[in-house]
Structure 1
Amino acid sequence: MTRARLLGRLRQDRGSYALETAVLAPVLIAILLLMVAFGRVTDAEGAVDAAAHAAARAASIERDAATAQSAAQAAVTRSLDGDGVTCQTSNIAIDTSGYNTDVGTAATVTATISCTANLSDIGIPGLPGAKTLTASWTSPIDTYRARQ
């Protein structure tokens, strides 16, 4: 092959890198944004689970159902704020019916938390604007501690 032919073939490929970049850049950006979305959901799931654990534990060490409810609510707020999770809407349900049992009877407290995390700021077409995450945790109440 002559030098002129070789240079002619090389010139035919001019601009192909720019075209490849123009085609692949949006795909790579979309993949990066999906990774960010999945990371945020996974992080928020862990935070909601930790908040449910903290709420159940805080409620189980109290002496009565009313104090257990308020302690659990405070624990959820502290836990989610500490993890930097902001819920669009949240629902906190604390089952303190175990406080109605007699001393010497095994009883538990269950905390169930639902948090709707915002995903609309990521901006990927087809991605839902929010995802509701739910976690539940049960903690035992001391069997032989006085209950009011």
Structure 2
Amino acid sequence: MSIRTRRRTVRQGLRRDRGSYALETAVLAPVTISLLLLMIAFGRVTDADGAVDSAARAAARAASLERDAGTAQSAARAAADRSLQGEGITCTTSSVDIDTAGYALDLGVDATVTATIACTADLSDIGLPGLPGAKTLTASWSSPIDTYRGRG
């Protein structure tokens, strides 16, 4: 086979492949973009989940340091709000529930304060079809009340 024949065969093969790169790009670009958006969504949900857990921990700890149930409730709510704002998490809706039943127990009895936080993270700005517009994340944490500290 001569060099001319080989060149002609190569040129004909290249002509048959013309446009295949454009087709591959047209098929793979949306898939790649969708995977990237899905990774962003999972990252945001994971980040928000950690922030909600941290806020529940901070709220329970702040409530356990107070001497009465009313002050514990307000301290826990403030600590949860500060923690979520510090993490940069904005919840479309959130609820902070503080169980302060331990303050009604007598001195010398082990007691705890439990903080439960629910936060709805907004995912609608990602714009991936099939992805829910929001996800509700919930975390709960308990902290012991000092056994021999006066309770109101």
Above 0.5 in TM-score? yes
Structure 1 Cα separation of the partners of residues 127 and 150 of structure 2: 54
Q: Which digits, 9 at most, give the CA deviation of each residue in 1:1-22, with x for residues without a partner?
A: 6221221111211111111011
Structure 1 residue 33 corresponds to structure 2 residue 66: no
Matches within 5 A, 1:1-148: 2=5, 3-148=7-152
Extract unaligned runs of 5+ from structure 2.
none
Query: How far has the Cα of 1:39 moved from its partner?
Result: 0.3
Structure 2 Cα separation of the partners of residues 133 and 37 of structure 1: 14
Q: Which of the pair has more CA radius of gyration?
A: 2
Extract unaligned runs of 5+ from structure 1.
none
Q: Amino acid of the residue matched to residue 105 of structure 2? A: T
* C-alpha RMSD over aligned residues: 0.7
Runs of 4+ aligned residues of structure 1 deviating over 6 Å after TM superposition are none
Q: Amino acid of the residue matched to residue 76 of structure 1? A: A
Structure 2 Cα separation of the partners of residues 39 and 6 of structure 1: 47
Q: Amino acid of the residue matched to residue 27 of structure 1? A: V
Secondary structure of 1:103's counterpart equals: coil
Q: Which digits, 9 at most, give the CA deviation of each residue in 1:51-103, with x for residues without a partner?
A: 00000000000011111001000000000000010111111100001001111
Q: Amino acid of the residue matched to residue 104 of structure 1? A: G
Q: Amino acid of the residue matched to residue 10 of structure 1? A: L
Structure 1 Cα separation of the partners of residues 53 and 114 of structure 2: 13
